Chains A and B, each alone.
Chain A
């Protein structure tokens, strides 16, 4: 049985389209929310607009979209203003100020809605969950085509956001990373703040009429956060966040149809599933992002410590050769005790060095090959040059010399070595009197 047999382009196509439009419009702004550490603003605004909806209804007495939209957008902007006032005048921590404002407004909205609840179907659930599944039912005719109204609304929101981001790209960028610099350059930081807030409010209101506020709140933060872990460049970050947003919308809808079938049910809430999918993509980014991924960082650290251990092994063998004047061989136990390594890790490092041709093994004893000796000489040369440099130029006490040089030797490349060499006018011995090997 084809699990997607119920897929219907006329319906599901539009649902996915609405999802993508909402996700991308939110993700665009989300980049700046994450960078400005205002991630919770989307959540706050989308809860706080409830009284705006209710007030619009009370004033106009209808459930037309436009008054509702205006009412909600105004309250959304007021949320940001109130938060700023309470933070500024009351000297309250920003998070707390936001918490006070949006919960209060939500409560006020709830009271207003319950006042009207027995007379009209104005329901908070619809605002919270959204009804993206109903997207294809309400259409308008655009240029002869029947297009869902939601798609039209969200497209315009997306265009507005795109326009704002492109137009104010430089200003947003500078104000997000360095508000003080922005001010000195003549960019009004608080104008950028309120512009962003207004766009967030408009996007949130336009979206959750169509798709519910879970989706908006998730799309404000999650794709941008995932993108932030993947790159250090703002342009790339925005592109990645848009891709993540679109992917979560597509897979979210498919997931909403497929996952419940595993336990024998039709399908589930699409907006919820889109948010979940964004979360999964975020987890992937958090773990495997090329530079900042948790797993990647961990692997890099392990590799580094293995490399350092390998260098210490050849260095140790080189020094043993120096002392005995003839070729020295050491067994695994003595290597292990000297280098304080764990048996398993030493074994891995030795196997690696053997494969690379730095070591030879004979009856359980290990010795250097010519190639290994070359490598070791460079390392020991770095070590002793550093010791000399630290004594001569930095004036480090003798007893703290060795550990310092022990660290630095692993990060010294040939050009740095020659620089050290020249700076000290080609020393031949280190502070302990041992000769510095030549390259």
Chain B
């Protein structure tokens, strides 16, 4: 019997929550069409009035909500930046779940003591205390048992959240004071954000941003090289705690606004997106904060314009769109830029291989040092070239085509290939670099001449002028601009030449 009654209570709770999510929609000045079929999914396009009200910030409510969420976006973006680099992105997830039992207990205790259980300071204090306990539990599990970070986070997250739900289960039965509204801590209620909330978020965000700026150097060191920071005498554990407290603080003020899961998103997504844009941490922090702000602004704005779009979720979706865009088009680490870079390197390597193969063929005929730049070199045959490397005829043809369009080689009839003057210069330089590195390896790294070819093959493409100059100074008897030294090992061109000589 009791179970049935309990399930009824639960149904009520569930309805209250739905009511809450729907309340976000209800507050929109939406033109609802009554009696729609449940499968009808047409979107009500907002009228011009609604657009104007939001865009020109005519509503007091809209102003407060936009301001509050934007500030939250900035704070979360800035703090998330550090947790991301510290590979603690999901710390916010665990800590925000860990606040729930505190919220529930604060409500229950205050109500039992006759106070107003739903006063914001009381709830936040409870949340803060239980968040800090959760943080301590994570550190305890990670440092004193053999479990790893992920398990620590998972345990704290699920157990604290479970305890929180159990406490809320009691809170629902309280006769004095109605517990509905505590769910805001899980789902958020940005649309009904008050001026007080916005002020709180603003103040906290400012403090968090200030701490980030003041401790920037220390936190950066903590993120990149904890051991080094420790050896330089920085209080690593204290800094870690400061960072975590920042996370807890931002999470706490954000919970009310966007809800638990979406708060996690604000801590993770802008920072992860910013990582694609730059390799510099200060820039990344700024981009991350900016992305957070833009997502919050756009998301909350869209939620205000369109009916039935919950603001918290919209903020996250905008951030996600930003993340996807950054992941593909981020100039520093984006997929497109990286692929482009890889493709260019690939082309360069192919060109180098082609030119050096032709050069070595020519060299095999005339002997080293006797080649000189003329308008057009003697022809080599494509068939000979194919044997030089592990490429097939089709690939080789495409490399040749590209090299010809760059004016490096000229293809003649009957599979003849000639180096142009420009091509010859480049080929000569490449072979020079390659052999210089081989000389260096045999001389200083004690590698047998028969083994150096492959190592030099990998490095020749990235040797710059400074490096070549240094190699020249290291190798006695080498002066800049000297002729290409003879190969230390038989090249393929020579081998094939010898082979054909040996044939009867």
Which B residues touch A86, using CB under 8 A? Answer: 327
One digit per residue, 1 when the CB lies within 8 angstroms of any chain B CB and 0 when it does not, for chain A 103-128 equals 11011101101111111110111101
A-B interface pairs (CB < 8 A), number: 289
Which A residues touch B170, using CB under 8 A? Answer: 260, 263, 265, 268
Which B residues touch A120, using CB under 8 A? Answer: 38
Interface residues on A, range: 35 or more
Return the contact of A282 from the options B155, B168, B327 (Cβ within 8 A).
B155
Most buried by B among A103, A115, A228, A267: A103
Which A residues touch B271, using CB under 8 A? Answer: 96
Is B39 part of the binding interface, using a Cβ–Cβ cutoff of 8 Å?
yes
Most buried by A among B7, B145, B264: B145
One digit per residue, 1 when the CB lies within 8 angstroms of any chain A CB and 0 when it does not, for chain B 143-164 equals 0111110110111011111111
Q: Is the CB of B265 within 8 A of A107?
A: yes
Interface with B: A270-278, A331-339, A350-358, A402-410, which one? A270-278
Is B314 part of the binding interface, using a Cβ–Cβ cutoff of 8 Å?
yes
Is B396 part of the binding interface, using a Cβ–Cβ cutoff of 8 Å?
no
Q: Is the CB of B166 within 8 A of A276?
A: yes
Q: Is the CB of B148 within 8 A of A124?
A: no
Tell me the minimal C-beta distance from B112 to chain A in angstroms: 7
Tell me the minimal C-beta distance from B500 to chain A in angstroms: 43
Which B residues touch A106, using CB under 8 A? Answer: 261-262, 265, 313, 316
With A95-B90, A111-B310 already in contact, the answer to whether A34 and B14 are too (CB < 8 A) is no
A121 CA to B88 CA, complexed, in Å? 37
Is B465 part of the binding interface, using a Cβ–Cβ cutoff of 8 Å?
no
Which A residues touch B161, using CB under 8 A? Answer: 214, 217-218, 272, 275
Is A185 part of the binding interface, using a Cβ–Cβ cutoff of 8 Å?
no
Is B66 part of the binding interface, using a Cβ–Cβ cutoff of 8 Å?
no
Is B93 part of the binding interface, using a Cβ–Cβ cutoff of 8 Å?
yes
Tell me the minimal C-beta distance from B42 to chain A in angstroms: 11
One digit per residue, 1 when the CB lies within 8 angstroms of any chain B CB and 0 when it does not, for chain A 87-111 equals 0011111011111101110111011
Is B320 part of the binding interface, using a Cβ–Cβ cutoff of 8 Å?
yes
- Contacting B at CB under 8 A, from A246-279, are 256, 259-260, 263, 265-269, 271-276, 278-279
Report the nearest A residue to B162, measured CB to CB.
A275
Q: Is the CB of B317 within 8 A of A107?
A: yes
Is B488 part of the binding interface, using a Cβ–Cβ cutoff of 8 Å?
no
Is B482 part of the binding interface, using a Cβ–Cβ cutoff of 8 Å?
no
Report the nearest B residue to A226, measured CB to CB.
B155
Which A residues touch B89, using CB under 8 A? Answer: 93, 95-96, 98-99
Q: Is the CB of B21 within 8 A of A221?
A: no
Q: Is the CB of A114 within 8 A of B24?
A: yes
Tell me the minimal C-beta distance from B148 to chain A in angstroms: 6
Tell me the minimal C-beta distance from B98 to chain A in angstroms: 11
With A47-B261, A113-B21, A124-B17 already in contact, the answer to whether A100 and B320 are too (CB < 8 A) is yes
Q: Is the CB of B317 within 8 A of A111?
A: yes
A351 CA to B261 CA, complexed, in Å? 59
Is A15 part of the binding interface, using a Cβ–Cβ cutoff of 8 Å?
yes
With A121-B18, A128-B186 already in contact, the answer to whether A90 and B151 are too (CB < 8 A) is no
With A92-B275, A93-B87, A286-B141 already in contact, the answer to whether A217 and B154 are too (CB < 8 A) is yes
A260 CA to B168 CA, complexed, in Å? 11
With A40-B154, A98-B90 already in contact, the answer to whether A93 and B84 are too (CB < 8 A) is yes
Tell me the minimal C-beta distance from B137 to chain A in angstroms: 9
Tell me the minimal C-beta distance from A366 to chain B in angstroms: 38
Which B residues touch A292, using CB under 8 A? Answer: 145-146
A294 CA to B143 CA, complexed, in Å? 10
- Contacting A at CB under 8 A, from B323-337, are 323, 327, 333, 335
Q: Is the CB of A40 within 8 A of B264?
A: no
Return the contact of A107 from the options B39, B163, B320 (Cβ within 8 A).
B320
A90 CA to B329 CA, complexed, in Å? 11
Report the nearest A residue to B24, measured CB to CB.
A114
Tell me the minimal C-beta distance from A51 to chain B in angstroms: 11
Q: Is the CB of A103 within 8 A of B164?
A: no
A133 CA to B154 CA, complexed, in Å? 25
Is B276 part of the binding interface, using a Cβ–Cβ cutoff of 8 Å?
yes
Q: Is the CB of B153 within 8 A of A274?
A: no
Return the contact of A275 from the options B13, B39, B163, B327 (Cβ within 8 A).
B163
Is A432 part of the binding interface, using a Cβ–Cβ cutoff of 8 Å?
no
Q: Is the CB of B272 within 8 A of A125?
A: no
Tell me the minimal C-beta distance from B415 to chain A in angstroms: 41
Q: Is the CB of B261 within 8 A of A90?
A: no
Which A residues touch B16, using CB under 8 A? Answer: 125
Return the contact of A117 from the options B21, B165, B335 (Cβ within 8 A).
B21
Is B183 part of the binding interface, using a Cβ–Cβ cutoff of 8 Å?
yes
A119 CA to B312 CA, complexed, in Å? 21
Which A residues touch B18, using CB under 8 A? Answer: 117, 121, 123-125
Is B25 part of the binding interface, using a Cβ–Cβ cutoff of 8 Å?
yes
Which B residues touch A256, using CB under 8 A? Answer: 166, 169
- Contacting B at CB under 8 A, from A161-203, are none
Return the contact of A126 from the options B14, B92, B150 (Cβ within 8 A).
B14
Return the contact of B90 from the options A99, A136, A217, A274 (Cβ within 8 A).
A99
Which B residues touch A229, using CB under 8 A? Answer: 145-147
Return the contact of A276 from the options B154, B163, B310 (Cβ within 8 A).
B163
With A134-B7, A275-B161 already in contact, the answer to whether A267 and B2 are too (CB < 8 A) is yes
Instruction: Sample 25 A-B pairs with CB under 8 A, ordered by A number.
Output: A43-B157, A90-B276, A90-B327, A93-B89, A95-B87, A100-B272, A104-B316, A107-B313, A107-B320, A108-B317, A111-B313, A117-B308, A118-B308, A125-B13, A128-B186, A131-B7, A133-B10, A218-B162, A222-B155, A222-B159, A225-B155, A266-B173, A273-B169, A275-B166, A286-B145
Nearest 10 CB-CB pairings of A with B = A275-B162, A279-B159, A272-B165, A268-B169, A103-B265, A269-B169, A272-B166, A218-B158, A99-B268, A125-B17
* A contact set with B: CB distance below 8 Å: 6, 8, 11-12, 15, 34, 37-40, 42-43, 47, 58, 61, 86, 89-93, 95-100, 102-104, 106-108, 110-111, 113-121, 123-126, 128-129, 131, 133-134, 136-137, 214-215, 217-218, 220-222, 225, 228-229, 256, 259-260, 263, 265-269, 271-276, 278-279, 282, 286, 292, 294
**Given A11-B2, A103-B268, 17 more pairs with CB closer than 8 A:** A40-B157, A43-B158, A90-B335, A95-B87, A95-B150, A96-B89, A99-B272, A114-B313, A124-B18, A133-B7, A137-B4, A217-B157, A260-B173, A267-B169, A268-B169, A269-B165, A272-B169
